[in-house]
């Protein structure tokens, strides 16, 4: 992003300031994503953060680190946005949720300063965590992210939010209680971040193979008994193997009219994902259809969250397959 100076040639100091802002761009982007749950919206909020920082650069006297100052601006920009455009879950579902490309998260891994690595820890970027945190009111959400994700102290968090440490501690208690209510019960069994095991890679390959064959029965064999299937922004959610498979059948999966499928394996939110392309009767290429973000448990697929073709570009996926 280029910060406009409205036709004025920036001085060396101003250019250096802009360069310093850009160094923190990706982690601020991830921070805004956690606050909002929407990849599209967080881009706008980072832009707003940089504009506010540019306008207020004369007031930055180095009383805190530039990083802390930017987090303060970004957090308040997000809170302002949530206040102006409040979003409510529909039937308990977060319909505005979007995936975050792993390739962009990798930009923070191995960063020299160190703290950025905590920003992309797997258990705090997975879709289950993002879904749970979106159920919290904006202020407790901000406190939870600052305290439990970024590791800020109560005093640091209070300074960022311009409140008291007592208020921060109270909000954190409410936030943690809300997270326990909305996170999957079995989450502690699968939360630690790691690369997929050989068995999980084989399971992913089978999901791709069976999907391209449009073999409903084979797909059913690799689903967990209590598999969950969701398709934001639709509020409907299906639970259990039989219900999920019936949903696919009702949607025409496997019929000639549905078309032929091809898959591309990718990753989002530190989870395996499969980009699905469809070639309808009469077409000469496979067009983007959906991205399935998966979670495994007990050697089976326990969670499938499906996003539409509008997210393909952000994930760096091809526009078509021939």
Going by pLDDT thresholds of 50, 70 and 90, the confidence category of residue 116 is low
Judge whether residue 150 has pLDDT over 50: yes
Judge whether residue 127 has pLDDT over 50: yes
Name the least confident of 183-192, 265-274, 295-304: 183-192
pLDDT reported for residue 8: 36
238 inside domain: yes
316 inside domain: no
Of the candidates 306, 302, 304, the residue with the CA atom closest to the CA atom of residue 223: 302
Last residue of a domain, one of 137, 155, 189: 189
Q: Tell me, rounded to whole angstroms, the distance of Cα 276 from its chain centroid.
A: 19
Q: Which domain holds residue 33?
A: 12-189
From CA 187, how far away is CA 194, in angstroms rounded?
14
Judge whether residue 288 has pLDDT over 90: yes
> Same domain for 164 and 103?
yes
Judge whether residue 196 has pLDDT over 60: yes
> Same domain for 41 and 179?
yes
Judge whether residue 223 has pLDDT over 80: yes
Residue carrying the six token digits 């690595």: 117
pLDDT reported for residue 115: 56
Say how many domains are in the chain. 2
Going by pLDDT thresholds of 50, 70 and 90, the confidence category of residue 45 is very high
pLDDT reported for residue 15: 80
Going by pLDDT thresholds of 50, 70 and 90, the confidence category of residue 114 is low
| CATH code of residue 305 | 3.10.450.50
pLDDT reported for residue 13: 72
240 inside domain: yes
> Same domain for 209 and 302?
yes
Name the least confident of 63-72, 225-234, 272-281: 63-72
Judge whether residue 7 has pLDDT over 50: no
**Which one is predicted more confidently, 302 or 200?**
302
Tell me the average pLDDT of the chain: 89
64 inside domain: yes
> Same domain for 151 and 235?
no
Average pLDDT over residues 281-295: 96
317 inside domain: no
Going by pLDDT thresholds of 50, 70 and 90, the confidence category of residue 61 is low
3 inside domain: no
> Same domain for 151 and 230?
no
pLDDT reported for residue 5: 35
pLDDT reported for residue 2: 34
Confidence (pTM): 0.89
Q: Strands 223-230, 271-279: parallel, antiparallel or unpaired by DSSP?
A: unpaired
**Which one is predicted more confidently, 101 or 64?**
101
> Same domain for 179 and 253?
no
Last residue of a domain, one of 189, 217, 249: 189
34 inside domain: yes
Judge whether residue 255 has pLDDT over 60: yes
pLDDT reported for residue 122: 77
Judge whether residue 91 has pLDDT over 80: yes
Residues 82, 84, 88, CA angle at the centre, nearest 5°? Answer: 55
Judge whether residue 106 has pLDDT over 60: yes
> Same domain for 207 and 121?
no
Q: What are phi and psi of 75, to 5 degrees?
A: -65, -45
The tokens describing 115, both together, are 């703290």
Residue carrying the six token digits 């505005």: 96
Judge whether residue 110 has pLDDT over 70: no
> Same domain for 185 and 205?
no
260 inside domain: yes
Q: What is the 3-state secondary structure (H, E, C) of the chain?
A: CCCCCCCCCCCHHHHHHHHHHHHCHHHHHHHHHHHHCCHHHHHHHHHHHHHHHHHCHHHCCCCCCHHHHHHHHHHHHHHHHHHHCCCCCECCECCCCCCCEHHHHHHHCCCCCCCHHHHCCHHHCCHHHHHHHHCCCHHHHHHHHHHHHCCCCHHHHHHHHCCCHHHHHHHHHHHHHHHHHHCCCCHHHCCCCCCCCHHHHHHHHHHHHHHHHCCHHHHHHCEEEEEEEECCCCCCEEECHHHHHHHHHHCCCCCCCCCEEEEEEEEECCEEEEEEEEECCCCCCEEEEEEEEEEEECCEEEEEEEECHHHCCCCCCCCCEC
pLDDT reported for residue 57: 83
To 10 degrees, the CA torsion angle through 19, 21, 23, 24? 180
Going by pLDDT thresholds of 50, 70 and 90, the confidence category of residue 60 is confident
> Same domain for 217 and 263?
yes
| CATH code of residue 110 | 1.20.140.160
Average pLDDT over residues 267-272: 95
> Same domain for 227 and 286?
yes
> Same domain for 142 and 177?
yes
Residue carrying the six token digits 């939110």: 269
> Same domain for 183 and 41?
yes
Q: Under a CB-based contact definition with an 8 Å cutoff, are residues 128 and 187 in contact?
A: yes
Name the least confident of 109-123, 135-149, 160-174, 178-192: 109-123
Last residue of a domain, one of 124, 156, 189: 189
Residue carrying the six token digits 């930017």: 70
pLDDT reported for residue 111: 52
């Amino acid at each position: 992003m280029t910060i406009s100076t409205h036709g004025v040639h920036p001085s060396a100091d101003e250019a250096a300031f802009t360069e310093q802002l850009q160094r923190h761009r990706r982690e601020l982007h991830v921070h805004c994503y956690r606050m909002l749950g929407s990849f599209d919206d967080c881009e706008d909020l980072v832009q707003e953060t940089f504009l506010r920082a540019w306008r207020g650069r004369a007031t930055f006297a180095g009383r805190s680190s530039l990083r802390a100052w930017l987090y303060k601006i970004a957090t308040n920009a997000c809170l302002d946005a949530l206040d102006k455009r409040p979003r409510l879950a529909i039937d308990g579902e977060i319909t505005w949720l979007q995936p975050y490309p792993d390739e962009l998260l990798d930009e923070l891994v191995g960063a020299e300063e160190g703290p950025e690595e905590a920003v992309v820890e797997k258990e705090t970027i997975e879709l289950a965590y993002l879904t749970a945190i979106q159920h919290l009111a904006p202020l407790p959400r901000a406190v939870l992210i600052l305290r439990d994700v970024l590791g800020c102290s109560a005093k640091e968090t209070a300074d960022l939010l311009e409140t008291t440490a007592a208020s921060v501690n109270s909000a954190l208690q409410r936030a943690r209680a809300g997270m326990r209510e909305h996170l999957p019960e079995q989450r502690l069994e699968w939360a630690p971040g790691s690369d997929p095991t050989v068995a999980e890679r084989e399971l992913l390959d089978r999901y791709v193979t069976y999907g391209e064959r449009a073999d409903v029965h084979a797909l059913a064999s690799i689903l967990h008994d209590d598999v969950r299937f969701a398709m934001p922004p639709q509020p409907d959610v299906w639970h259990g193997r039989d219900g999920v498979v019936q949903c696919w059948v009702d949607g025409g999966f496997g019929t000639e009219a549905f078309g032929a499928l091809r898959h591309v394996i990718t990753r989002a939110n530190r989870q395996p994902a499969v980009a699905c392309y469809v070639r309808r009767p009469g077409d000469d290429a496979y067009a983007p259809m959906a991205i399935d973000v998966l979670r495994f448990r007990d050697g089976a697929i326990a969670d499938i969250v499906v996003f539409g073709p509008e997210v393909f570009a952000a994930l760096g996926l091809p526009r078509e397959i021939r």
